Amino acid sequence: MFLIGGDLPVARLGFGTMRLTGPGIWGEPADRAGAVRVLRRAVELGVNLVDTADSYGPYVSESLVAEALHPYPPELVISTKGGLTRQGPDQWKAVGRPEYLRQCVEMSLRRLRLDRIDLYHLHRIDRSVPLEDQLGELASLRAEGKIRHIGLSEVTLDDLHAARRVVEVASVQNIYNLTRQRYRDTLEYCTREEIGFIPFFPLGRGDLTRPGGELDSLARSRGVSPAQLALAWLLHLSPAVLPIPGTTRVGHLEENLGAAQLSLTPDEVKGLTERWSDVPAVG
């Protein structure tokens, strides 16, 4: 377990809902009933961190979460994000004007059927708007009781330092997996400061689980799947790491969650890190 913000206990394997939408993270899923089944099964299996965003669909993912899981179990932590607008499939643009972020929070509350959002991430820093204005508005919304904890997404260590001068930061959601390790300094800082580090794309974009690949061979030698090995590696990097693998299939969900039972030695973790690292290994 990990305590987000020091007071929200979550199991260390969560569920990310981005892929539950249509192609290009745009529109409705091909099988809405199937998406609902996956979400419900995740919670049945003990997942209590569900991550979504207003831009997934847009709006589709949040509505799916509410349809599948409301009324929410008391232990379920809903994380959502705002500050990215959509112009079409696979198109994203940051908008961090305070009035827009306030609108994002209000509409997410409505779609998710919540009075307060447990964990709200600024989806991207808008470099055209002062960071103090963006985070200051989220801090105001927290003071109003509409947000419990504030997080950041896809930020550098310098960004995180700057943000913490404005507001308490409970979590950081950055891309991180075996082949994308460039935020290692941010991960190490989050570990020291007990800030949740939520890797998105923890399995890459499917490349890490490709049959016949190098990771597949290593996983087979351990009697596990490539996805389980990649997720177990993340879990062993730091007690602050909270992967959120997503899937549209119950079978893949159950397989992914099996990673929590896979034990790796320090030498195995180091070997995996160095084999796929896109930056020189440290330590």
pLDDT tens profile 12-56: 999 999 999 999 999 999 999 999 999 999 999 999 999 999 999
Return d(Cα 12, Cα 154) in angstroms, integer: 20
Q: Of these residues, 56, 72, 120, 176, which one is catalytic?
A: 56
Which has the closest alpha carbon to 17: 265, 276, 248, 267? 248
The residue segments making up the domain with residue 111 are: 2-204+239-248
In a domain, residue 215? The reply is no
On whether residue 217 sits in a domain, the answer given is: no
77, part of any domain: yes
For the domain that residue 198 is a member of, what is the CATH number? 3.20.20.100
Task: For residue range 106-144, list pLDDT tens digits in order.
Answer: 999 999 999 999 999 999 999 999 999 999 999 999 999
Residue 140 lies in a domain: yes
Query: What is the model's pLDDT at position 204?
Result: 84
Please indicate, yes or no, if residue 227 is contained in any of the structural domains: no
Residue 226 lies in a domain: no
Q: How many domains does the chain have?
A: 1
CA distance 52 to 18: 7
pLDDT computed for residue 54 by the predictor: 98
Give the predicted TM-score (pTM) of the model. 0.95
The torsion angles phi and psi of 130, rounded to 5 degrees, stand at -55, 135
Please, which pLDDT band fits residue 283 given cuts at 50, 70 and 90?
very low
Identify whether 10 is part of a domain: yes
Q: At residue 209, what are phi and psi to the nearest 5 degrees? A: -105, 10
- Does 272 reside within a domain? no
Q: Is 56 among the residues known to form the active site?
A: yes
Query: Stretch 144-163: mean pLDDT, rounded?
Result: 98
